[in-house]
Amino acid sequence: MADVLDMNYPFTGRWLVQNSPANRVPSHGTRLFATSYAIDFVPVDDSGRSAPFTFGSLLRPEPPENFVGFGRSVLSPVAGTVVAFHDTERDHLSYRGMSSIGYALTQRRRAEAGWLALAGNHVMIRCDGGVVVLCHLQRRSTRVRIGQHVEIGEEIGLRGNSGNSTEPHVHVQAIDSVDIEHAAAVPITFNGTMPSNGGIVTV
């Protein structure tokens, strides 16, 4: 196994943990695009909800602006150099209830479309131990450019709902190369630990 890359959380506030490698590897059920140790964080309010859930939430997609975390800061979890970014993908509707079933059925099509269809808007930061990748950022929200040095806690963009995302969240993974097609996954921790699925992280 590769050495573990330890980092800070890339946010402040309250976040629900999903698809954690603390529960299974590969964490997302696939090794595609070096996601074996990837993890997702969904911003939630004090009651643990990402957005109010109404009868309409059961029946139809919702605007991402309805969710508490949309448009809030995503921070660099490491000190390093920006080696890639993409920020032109649109933020699409969010899917809960019945609409999430239809969205799930199109998962294979997005995977076949390649990395951008899955990651959406993203930033890659090279640091000691690998390259940290943060995905599903808001369109045109990137605050950094290739070659720029960033410090821990520096804002790199805003939370969005681009790529393969049912609701606004941040996907974090580490890889050993910028070449995502051929990179290997690097295990990660946050301040020395890995939170489990269903837990709430407060920063």
Block means of pLDDT (10 residues each) for the chain, length 203 residues? 88 97 96 97 94 82 94 97 97 88 81 91 97 98 97 98 96 97 97 97 96
Q: Which letter does DSSP use for residue 19 in this model? A: S
Q: What is the DSSP string of 104-129?
A: HHTHHHHHHH-HHHHH-EEEEEEETT
- Looking at residue 107, its pLDDT comes to 80
Range list of β-strands (E), the chain: 5-7, 14-18, 39-43, 73-75, 80-86, 121-127, 130-137, 149-150, 155-158, 170-175, 188-190, 200-202
Please answer whether residues 57 and 97 qualify as being in contact, where contact means their C-beta atoms are separated by less than 8 angstroms: yes
| SS3 call for 86 | strand
Domains identified in the chain and CATH numbers: 5-202 (2.70.70.10)
Please answer whether residues 148 and 91 qualify as being in contact, where contact means their C-beta atoms are separated by less than 8 angstroms: no
Specify the long-range contacts of residues 55-62, CB closer than 8 Å, at least 24 apart.
57/96, 57/97, 58/96, 58/97, 58/98, 59/97, 59/98, 59/99, 60/99, 61/93, 61/94, 61/95, 61/99, 62/93, 62/94, 62/95, 62/96
- Looking at residue 104, its pLDDT comes to 80
Cβ neighbours around 88 below 10 Å, total: 11
- Looking at residue 151, its pLDDT comes to 98
- Rounded to whole angstroms, how far apart are CA atoms 50 and 57? 12
Q: Pairing state of beta strands 188-190 and 5-7?
A: parallel
- Looking at residue 99, its pLDDT comes to 80
- Rounded to whole angstroms, how far apart are CA atoms 59 and 96? 8
- Looking at residue 108, its pLDDT comes to 80
- Looking at residue 1, its pLDDT comes to 47
- Looking at residue 39, its pLDDT comes to 98
